[in-house]
Each structure stands twice: as structure tokens, then as C-alpha cells.
Amino acid sequence: MAIGPGLHIEDPTDPSLDLTMSEGARPVYDQVRTFIADEVEPVTLEFHRLGAERSDHWGYHPGQMEILDGLKTKAREVGLWNLFLPDSETGEGLSNLDYAYIASELGKNPLASESLNCSAPDTGNMEVLERVGTPEQKKRWLEPLLNGEIRSAYAMTEPDVASSDAKTLACRAVLDGDEWVINGTKYYISGAGDPRCKVMITMLQTSPDGPPHRRQSQILVPID
Ligand SMILES: Cc1cc2nc3c(=O)[nH]c(=O)nc-3n(C[C@H](O)[C@H](O)[C@H](O)COP(=O)(O)OP(=O)(O)OC[C@H]3O[C@@H](n4cnc5c(N)ncnc54)[C@H](O)[C@@H]3O)c2cc1C
């Protein structure tokens, strides 16, 4: 039975159709809005004023780092930290739906997401590491990311191919002894130029003879 356009669900009372925020998430949502208004908004103009004085286009003025680190310390102290990780022990344990409302508030100020350690692409990268990372990868990359000590990038897009479709990616990785040798070009990689970016989750073609949807792997590429 078709319930409505695009809704291929048998039970119209299915709670997954309810897109309201849960009651339990409301206090965190209110706290985030208050934090942005009281702590983030007042320093935002100064952050951008200092940015105009920085010498490196990809880097930060020392005063900008002071502002950001100060906000991060305050956010962590009041428990507004890593809110993005759904159903996990390392995050707040919010559902993706509850977090969507918080993310829409964070998106209204350019410093808010990072202040709460909820910046893309770190958020998606941390989720990948948390869900499928080895203990060694978690120790090396996830821990400092969760602590807001480093940043990361996600590299999928390439010139000359339709990069929204991972099956088309051409950048190759070949195992040579115990090292992966990567050849190809990635571009439009957000945050890759940030001096704090230490790791890039990179989507690569590793099995060119496999079926199209099984040719790719993601390799953690250290930036240094
Ligand atoms: C501000 C910004 C930040 C970005 N940050 C990152 C980043 O951090 N990491 C990263 O990897 N990339 C990043 N990108 C790149 C972005 O994710 C890609 O541009 C996107 O995935 C689309 O790939 P493409 O540009 O190759 O477009 P294409 O894949 O060529 O798509 C172009 C258009 O064609 C359509 N299309 C594609 N294939 C088909 C098909 N088979 N049938 C019908 N229509 C189709 C698409 O819907 C789209 O409208 C960033 C881009 C911007 C603008």
C-alpha cells in the first residue's frame, strides 16, 4: 500500500515519520542557543577582524586561535562537546534527528560549530573512525580529534570525473610491499590547507578489476 509520495512505509503511525525533536534533547538545544548568543556572538567580529591581518591565507592569526581555543574550553566545561556522534558513548548520545536541530543553530554563526567540536569534515571523519577504526587508528587520530586538538579532511573529489559517484574515481592506490603508493589528483578538499589538519580520509581505487561498487577503499593519509 502506498501511503504518499516517496513514503514506502506500511504503518503511517511509524515513529520514524515523526520529525520533531525529542523532549530529552530540548535542554541541550536551548543550552547551545544560549552559548552561541552569550559566548560566540560577542567575539565573532573580532575573530574576523584579526583574520584580515593574518599572513597565511590558510592559517590563522594567533589572536584568532586564542579566541577559538577559549570558546572550545568554555564549551567543553559546560558539556557542549562532540554533540554530533549519534548513539555513541563518546558523544552526547543524541539521535541524528535531534542533532539536526542543533546543527541548524550552529550553522548560523561561522565559529559555533568548531567551538563545540562539531565541524565538518571532522564530524563525519570521527564517526567513521569511531565506527570502523582499528584501536591503533582510534588512538592516533580519533582521540586528538575528539579532544579538538587536530583537524582532518575528507578527500573524494577529483578533476575530470563525476565525483558525486564514487564508482567513477580514478585516483589509484597500489600496495607495494607493506606501503600503499597513491597516484592521482584530488581537489576541492575542505580544510586540507589548515595547518592543524593532520589526517585525510582519502577515497581511492584499489581494486580496478572488481565490480564497480567494490573497487574503492578509504585510506588514512597522514598530512606530514
Ligand atoms: C565549498 C565546497 C567544499 C567542498 N569540500 C569537499 C571536500 O572536503 N572533499 C571532497 O571530496 N569534495 C569537496 N567538495 C566537492 C564536492 O563534494 C563535489 O563537487 C561534489 O561531490 C560533486 O562532484 P562533482 O563536482 O565532480 O560534480 P558531478 O559529480 O560531475 O555532478 C555534477 C552534476 O551532475 C549531476 N550528476 C552526476 N552524476 C549523475 C548521473 N549519473 N546522472 C544524473 N546526474 C548526475 C550531479 O547531481 C550534479 O548536479 C566541495 C565542494 C564545495 C563547493
Mean pLDDT over the full length of the chain: 92
CATH number of 23-118: 1.10.540.10
- The ligand 1 atom at the shortest distance from the C-alpha of residue 153 is 8
- Give residue-wise pLDDT tens across range 173-204: 999 999 999 999 999 999 999 999 999 999 99
- Give residue-wise pLDDT tens across range 114-136: 999 999 999 999 999 999 999 99
> ipTM of this model?
0.94
In CATH, the architecture of 120-224 is Beta Barrel (2.40)
What gap in Å lies between CA 127 and CA 118, rounded to an integer? Answer: 11
The residue contributing the CA closest to ligand 1 atom 31 is 162
Domain boundaries, the chain: 23-118, 120-224
CA of 168 to the centre of ligand 1 (A): 12
Look at residue 15 in the predicted model and tell me its pLDDT.
76
- Give residue-wise pLDDT tens across range 38-58: 999 999 999 999 999 998 888
